[in-house]
Amino acid sequence: MPDPATYRPAPGSIPVEPGVYRFRDAHGRVIYVGKAKSLRSRLTSYFADVAHLHPRTRQMVTTAAKVEWTVVNTEVEALQLEYNWIKEFDPASTFAIATTSRIRRWPSPSTRNFPG
């Protein structure tokens, strides 16, 4: 299992501003895209002890070989850029996580309780 410490940014080098980040694998392919209110806070969480990370997150950070980020002015800009990067790079792990955690699923009409 590769060690995320090999590509961890130097302490203090990650900005505290909002932004969008992407993890790349050893072949340069984007494997994950995310946004953050504070890039430093969010990215630092990925470099915690891998044993304490969610299994999907652990797999992503141990597959990655590089992390990059772009600072933006507002959270809305971060959301827009994240959306554009997901469309551009189509990272499978981002799509899988986005479809399970960000999209609200409404119950189908057959599962609702209607007054009768």
> Is 2 inside any structural domain?
no
Q: What secondary structure letter does DSSP report for 9?
A: P
> Is 93 inside any structural domain?
yes
What's the pLDDT tens digit per position in 12-30?
A: 999 999 999 999 998 899 9
pLDDT for position 111: 52
AA identity, residue 11: P
In sequence order, the β-bridge partners of residue 22 are: 33, 68
Question: What is the span of the domain harbouring residue 62?
Answer: 14-102
Number of folded domains that form the chain? 1
Report the CATH number that the domain containing residue 81 is assigned in CATH.
3.40.1440.10
Q: Inter-axis angle of helices 92-101 and 55-63, to 10 degrees? A: 160
> Is 1 inside any structural domain?
no
What's the pLDDT tens digit per position in 85-111?
A: 999 998 875 545 544 554 444 444 555
Task: Catalogue the E-assigned strands of the chain.
Answer: 19-25, 30-36, 64-71
> Could you give the CA distance from residue 28 to residue 65 in angstroms, rounded to a whole number?
8
